[in-house]
Amino acid sequence: MQDLFRLDNDVAVVVGGTGELGGAMAEALAASGAQVAILGRSETRGQARVDRIKGQGGTARFYSADALDGDSLVAARDQIGSDFGTPSVLINAAGGNRPDATLPPGADFCDLPLDAWRDVFDLNLVGGALLPSQVFGKGMVAAGRGSIINIASMSGIIPLSRVVAYSAAKAAVINLTLFLAREWATVGVRVNAISPGFFPADQNRRLLFNDDGSYTERGGQIIAHTPMARFGEAGELAGVVVWLASQRASSFVTGQNIAIDGGFASTTI
């Protein structure tokens, strides 16, 4: 059974692997034997993750790339091909939100800035799924083998209050996942999505915790609606990522959106 989850013959690309969740996924893939290419804009954070993976006995390299810049993705893809071979796993973990695309309590949706909306959509849909899937998916289709894992969000399933642009963008990521799964189902490329619930990271920590470590009002509301009564930890994404990456373990799985949310979605039914 353990062999089902070995990735020794795989080259895995993690776009956004410099982030906390993307980095944890990169570590999980490397621990299962994959050669991992971490793509991102921060060489400092990227190299730190590479060093961590190497310290655990894995194989990884950092490649500077901007998920919204097709040319930089192509350059990274070509270098990865030279260093490791054709990628067979792609994790699209780039994404995020911005304050002016978020509605604070009492704000008027009609006043939401269009530029902020567009930036959030571009980051999460274009950079977070579309462009990397085009650039790296081409080689997978040609090779007749590959697994693409898009990182969506619970807010793409349930339109959470305030983060309206982010929620809409992640819903679009799920829709694109379904399209690509159908498009490439007969050519050996599987496309799935993961929708994490609430995982504290640098980007959202101040939204969830006060300086003294207690929950903010928003954090407390989330915990109250999470049956497991806690937030997720980055390492808890490892199992589903390795499962979806493995051709042997999930060979008949495509077009799925897997929620990892501590039961959060169950409280809305």
166: annotated active-site residue? yes
Q: Which of 192, 184, 181, 189 is nearest to 152 (CA)?
A: 192
Backbone angles phi, psi at 48, to 5 degrees: -60, -40
* All residues at 6 or more sequence positions from 17 whose CB lies less than 8 Å from its CB, including other chains: 23, 25, 26, 36, 38, 39, 40, 46, 49, 91, 93
Q: Which of 215, 194, 198, 197 is nearest to 206 (CA)?
A: 215
CB 118 within 8 A of CB 127: no
Taking the C-alpha atoms of residue 52 and residue 23, their distance in angstroms, rounded to an integer, is 10
Question: For the chain, what is the largest distance between any 2 Cα atoms, rounded to a whole number of angstroms?
Answer: 54
Would you state the structure tokens that stand for residue 117, as one six-digit string? Answer: 């909306």
Task: Give the three-state DSSP class for 23.
Answer: helix
CB 244 within 8 A of CB 181: no
Buried b (16+ CB within 10 A) or exposed e, 159-174: ebebbbbbbbbbbbbb
In the set 62, 121, 136, 166, the catalytic residue is 166
Q: Annotated catalytic sites, by residue?
A: 166
